[in-house]
Structure 1
Amino acid sequence: MFTFTVQLSDVDRGVYEELDLRLARHPSETTEFMVTRMLAYCLEYQEGIAFSDGGVSTSDEPAVLVRDLTGQLTAWIEVGAPASDRVHRGSKRAGRAAIYTHHDASRVLELLDGKKIHRAEHIPLYSFAPDFIESAVAEVKRRNAVTVSIMERHLYFDINGTSLETPVIEHRFR
């Protein structure tokens, strides 16, 4: 179990929150995936957001999801390099889908290119500067104090006193 006490300041969207996140890391989940999952949660933060119940081990849900007050799924947020059928299913089930990756974005797009994905042209794939995730992972402890600031889709990230920054790069399917 990893805890992240997050001071979130998303100037682009006017979101300012203090979050206490507890992330159980599944045995098959890398720390890179876990950090990207936590960042996706922060970058997508809104009322109704949650980590999926089963996390990475659940094939029926994405890593992060958003439900409205009625329980209706409104956003399907994948992490890593998801299979095309998961992205397709999520795009059909939710009003919006997105992918956050810690892998080479061009490789992820290549893997998904030409596959049947519902409304693929409307699904953003977000990535970070090379080595950003690896630098963040090097600072992860069981208990973490984190500041996440977003301004003009640029991420300023402080974890346990180490400051990092990266653009949040948006890619689109062809």
Structure 2
Amino acid sequence: MALPATIYRVGVQLSDVDRNQYQKLQTTVARHPSETAERLVARVLAYACQYDPDLAFTKGICAGDEPDLWIKGPDGRVTTWIEVGQPDPERLLKASRHAAKVILFAYGPARYRWENQHLPRLLAIPNLTIIGIDYDFLQQIVARLQRAINWDLTITEGNLYLSIGEETLESSLTLLAGTIDQE
């Protein structure tokens, strides 16, 4: 018998000064049994950092042909494709042909090796943005992870200030390729 997904209730008080977004985000996220806690946290951070009313979580790990998050237009076509982790460059190339905008939140203990190996080729994709997330920052969040996620997240000048309870964790987002929208 397959293990069921673990459900997380997420509440994020978002103050994204860079994009002039001030929202109380409420969502539910399912964590597949094979998904790491770091990947779950990366997906939630990507959701908050790229928040748009039409942004939605997909089946993710369960559906290999879908991104982690997406925005679909009225015609059902994917306009924004968001991945987390260190996907195969061919996957990003394919996504860039089908979506107007592709964003990767890259993280992991081997991220720098992945960057050295694949970044030169990926820089040629005009609609691809790659943002690096510090792996130690993700691990600090994972150490405080609960099924009911309640965060206060402030984003200013590419820096993240994440308050969980009485603690505030800090990190920066590293732009590795493309541009970050300042909507």
TM-based fold match above 0.5: yes
Q: Which runs of 5+ in 2 are unaligned?
A: 1-6, 179-183
Give, as a single letter, the amino acid of the residue that structure 1 aligns with 2:89: S
Quote the Cα distance in structure 1 between the aligned partners of 2:20 and 2:66.
28
Quote the Cα distance in structure 1 between the aligned partners of 2:75 and 2:164.
35
1:20-39, aligned counterparts within 5 Å?
Answer: 20-39=26-45
Alpha-carbon shift at residue 41 of structure 1 (Å):
0.7
Partner of 1:101: 106
Aligned partners of 1:105 and 1:171 also within 8 Å: no
Quote the Cα distance in structure 1 between the aligned partners of 2:160 and 2:111.
17
Alpha-carbon shift at residue 49 of structure 1 (Å):
0.4
1:20-99, aligned counterparts within 5 Å?
Answer: 20-52=26-58, 54-99=59-104
Deviations 1:68-121 (A, max 9, x none): 344331111110111122211211111011110221432222343466x69525
Distance 1:118 1:45, change over 3 A: same
**Are 1:120 and 2:113 counterparts?**
no
Aligned partners of 2:70 and 2:80 also within 8 Å: yes
Q: Which runs of 5+ in 1 are unaligned?
A: none
After superposing the two structures, state which structure 1 stretch, 104-113 or 2-11, moved more.
104-113
TM-score of the aligned structures, taking structure 2 as reference length: 0.85
Q: Which runs of 4+ in 1 moved over 6 A?
A: none
Aligned partners of 1:91 and 1:119 also within 8 Å: no
How many residues are aligned here? Answer: 171
After superposing the two structures, state which structure 1 stretch, 102-111 or 78-87, moved more.
102-111
Deviations 1:131-161 (A, max 9, x none): 1111011000011211111001111111233
Aligned partners of 1:139 and 1:162 also within 8 Å: no
